[in-house]
Amino acid sequence: MNAKNTKKAINPPAGPNPVQQLFAADQQQALLDQLYQFIELEHLYESAIREVKTKLEILDSEFKAKYDYNPIHHIEDRLKSPQSILEKLQRKGMPFSCNAARATLNDIAGVRVICNYIEDIYTVAELLTSQDDVTLIKRKDYIKDPKPNGYRSLHLVIQTPVYLSDSKELVNVEVQIRTIAMDFWASLEHELKYKTNHDVSADLAEQLKDCAETIAATDKRMQEIYRTLKQID
Ligand code: GTP
Ligand code: MG
């Protein structure tokens, strides 16, 4: 046998492991239980993201098949990190537990839908929320009522079922729907806030808002151009 392929036997370290050193026996079990519950929670929310993305992809491909048009430009998703879950629960004065996270947080699972035109946003939202197994929990239209800083998007919290081996779980998913233009602004604004440590001067904030208005006006013009071309077709 080649000496390189010979695996060395690894002897377990002598004495108690770090968890055993730090925690009493009953605490060790509680810690493990929490860890496993958290892994199950992540799996549940990851599955909910997949369910919602599949629904959106099917709607988009149906539009392509029927009308030779894709209302969705692309879809992004993210699962909230354990660190962010912990911080948000602390902010809300809640204990760090899976039950508290499920009951309190609507944005553990996040799906962002980037559409071509403003009208597509409302079409996608309407088609998604009218499905039998989808329940609309919350709707915030930051396109009709933009945030004071100029932020625009349609925010939904929907509940969708996830079928597990022994149960059906209803899971909340935050869906943000916006145009490419709105996404361009939100991504850069987020980065600027992050880079400048959340402290944008009044003058720059005004300029950013101004950019948001310009982008919104362009979105409307593009929508009109598209409508006109569609009528000609
Ligand atoms: P939180 O998630 O706790 O803020 O709860 P909420 O329901 O009050 O939030 P909201 O619906 O206003 O926004 C949730 C998400 O939308 C944020 O996590 C961001 O992803 C996005 N968002 C909201 N406002 C802004 C904004 O001003 N700029 C950018 N770039 N994104 C925003
Ligand atoms: Mg959030």
Residue 138 has pLDDT above 60, yes or no: yes
Residue 219 in contact with residue 181, Cβ under 8 Å?
yes
What is the C-alpha to C-alpha distance for residues 84 and 108, in angstroms, rounded to an integer?
9
Nearest-CA neighbor of 108 among 157, 180, 161? 157
* Ligand 1 atom index nearest CA of 88: 3
- The tens digit of pLDDT for each residue in 18-56 reads 777 777 877 888 888 888 999 999 999 999 999 999 999
62 in the Ramachandran plot: left (φ > 0), alpha (ψ -120 to 50) or beta? alpha
Domain locations along the chain: 24-180
Query: Which tops the pLDDT comparison, 22 or 190?
Result: 190
The residue whose CB lies within 8 Å of the most ligand 1 atoms, and thus the one to mutate among 151, 196, 208, is 151
Q: What's 24-180's CATH class? A: alpha beta
pLDDT confidence of 215, banded at 50, 70, 90?
A: very high
What is the C-alpha to C-alpha distance for residues 162 and 118, in angstroms, rounded to an integer?
30
Could you list which residues have their CB under 5 Å from ion ligand 2?
A: 107
Ligand nearest to C-alpha 111: 1
- The tens digit of pLDDT for each residue in 2-14 reads 444 445 566 766 7
131 CA → ligand 1 middle, Å: 25
Structure pTM? 0.89
Mean pLDDT estimate for the chain: 91
Q: What are 174's two structure tokens?
A: 């935050």
